[in-house]
Chains A and B, each alone.
Chain A
Amino acid sequence: MRVSKASLARRITVCAAVAGIVVGAAAWSGAADGSPAAPHRDVQAERILHGREVFDFKSLSELLATSPVVVQAKVTGVQPGRTSGSEETGGVEQARDVTLQVTDTLKNYQGATTTLVMEEYGWDADGNGYQVENVAWSNVGDTGFYFLRKTDDGQRWRLVNTQSRALDKGGWLQSSAEPGSELAAALTGYQPDELAFQIRWMLDKKNQQVLTPLAEPTEVTGPAAESPAPDSGAEEPIPDGSTDDGSEPTPYPSSS
């Protein structure tokens, strides 16, 4: 069959359009977690959430002493976890359940199995992913140190705070503490074996005087949680215009 150049070009154009639609449709369905019917959840965090945490650790001794459980572990799975919140409290969120295969128990983990589920955040109600402070989402294959406490459902675990993870990055540990912070500086340069040794040394009964736990917060529930806090009446004075406090000359040090 004889085909003119114009006809051939037209056919190629149609084929390209069809291919484009097919490729595009595949990409869209992939973005929705593999199924058009599945709820949309981002496959990676798209924003960072900031805030004030209960604990702020300055040293390994504070972090270690305040953490109920410390393990070395490997991430073997990640899947959507429980939801919490409501419209009245700012929206519904969904956690990520991170399965950790415990490879070494350094402090107090007495689970019946060698795997545990650690909760991390998360997705909002629209499936938009976010990470909290410097804690990048866990990936299968990650290995490192996890400083943990139980979640309020008593079933899962969570990092004590966003400083409480140190991942093995090619033989060197990378802390989840804010870069430049005292804790991040304290953990910089450790290799995994060295940190494990240091932790065991600090937990040894002969050396426990080096441990400096931070005070636990006071939890309140029920009507007491909504009661107006007593006011001392004292107003803090407005600071003067001085920047002679170690903060200058950097005009804008806050990167997070």
Chain B
Amino acid sequence: MPSTSLRISGAVAMSAVLLMAFPATSYAGHDDSGTDPDNRNQAVKGFSLTANGTSAMNHGKAELERSVISTSWGGGDIEVYDGSYGDTGWHGRTDCTDWNALWTSCDIVRVRLNQSYSKSASQWKSLGCHEFGHTADLGHRARSNDTDNNSCMRVEIWPTRYDQHDLNAIKAGT
């Protein structure tokens, strides 16, 4: 009958096989259909923003405050950038740059706002509302489920607010 030390050696060997055969890189198996914030207290920080980017950020933050999410100023949760990203086809983008260990919620969300396409002051606010909505796991709305045209999560029009449905969705999804 094998000794205890032999059993331990066997267990270590098998652990080595299992651990090293599966690199730590994670792929698209996690909850990647949205950006779930890791909690309902989100600190917001802008990085060298222009006046338009600042306006978008401030408005997005204020709209989030209308939901169950409370916000503060500081790093570590929502990080906002703007720049002349060029003729890229997008006004704004949001993604998670730091998932929790289980890839189920996001610690740091990055928001980028593109200055390369002209926008009115109201449209910048709408964009901030829209991208901050993505940080709260909201998806896009369509005219079929926003018939009164008052959700900033629409893409083809520029409302500047979350409607009640968006607020309900944030409450349900965070």
Contact = CB atoms under 8 A, between A and B. Distances in A.
Interface of A: 6, 9-10, 13-14, 16-17, 19-21, 23-25, 27-28, 30-31, 40, 42-56, 58, 84-85, 88-91, 124, 130, 132, 151-152, 158-161, 178, 180-182, 217-221, 225-232, 234, 236, 238-248, 250-256
Contacts of A182: 142, 144
B28 A51 contact: no
A247 B141 contact: yes
In order of increasing CB-CB distance, the 6 nearest A-B pairs are A24-B20, A254-B139, A20-B17, A89-B83, A51-B93, A90-B81
A47 to B, nearest CB: 5
Interface string B4-25: 0010011011101111111101
A89 B85 contact: yes
Given A24-B20, A50-B139, A229 B52 contact: yes
B145 A24 contact: no
B134 A53 contact: no
Interface of B: 2-3, 6, 9-10, 12-14, 16-23, 25-28, 30, 32-35, 47-48, 50-52, 55, 66, 79, 81-97, 99, 110, 112, 115-124, 127, 130-131, 134, 137-142, 144-148, 150, 153, 155-156, 159-165, 168-169, 172-173
5 contacts: A20-B21, A48-B34, A49-B95, A247-B163, A251-B168
B118 A6 contact: no
Given A46-B32, A246-B145, A23 B89 contact: no
Contact of A47 (B32, B156, B161): B32
A231 B124 CA distance: 10
A51 B94 contact: yes
A241 B120 contact: no
A232 B123 CA distance: 11
Contacts of B52: 226, 228-229
A220 B165 contact: no
Contact of A254 (B81, B119, B153): B153
B123 A229 contact: yes
Nearest to A254: B139
Given A219-B116, A226-B115, 12 more contacts: A20-B14, A50-B95, A88-B47, A90-B81, A180-B142, A220-B118, A230-B120, A232-B120, A234-B122, A236-B122, A243-B165, A244-B148
Contacts of A256: 33-34, 139-140
B131 A88 contact: no
A47 B117 contact: no
A26 to B, nearest CB: 9
A219 B146 contact: no
A22 to B, nearest CB: 9
A13 B117 contact: no
A52 B127 contact: yes
Contact of B118 (A46, A160, A217): A217
A19 B82 CA distance: 50
A180 to B, nearest CB: 8
A10 B156 CA distance: 69
B163 A255 contact: no
B21 A23 contact: yes
Nearest to B146: A245
B13 A90 contact: no
Nearest to B96: A47
A52 B131 contact: yes
Contacts of A91: 97, 110
A51 B139 CA distance: 9
Nearest to A53: B90
A230 B121 contact: yes
Contact of A245 (B16, B92, B110, B145): B145
Given A51-B93, A254-B139, A245 B118 contact: no
B32 A48 contact: yes
Contacts of B79: 90
A236 B110 CA distance: 26
B144 A13 contact: no
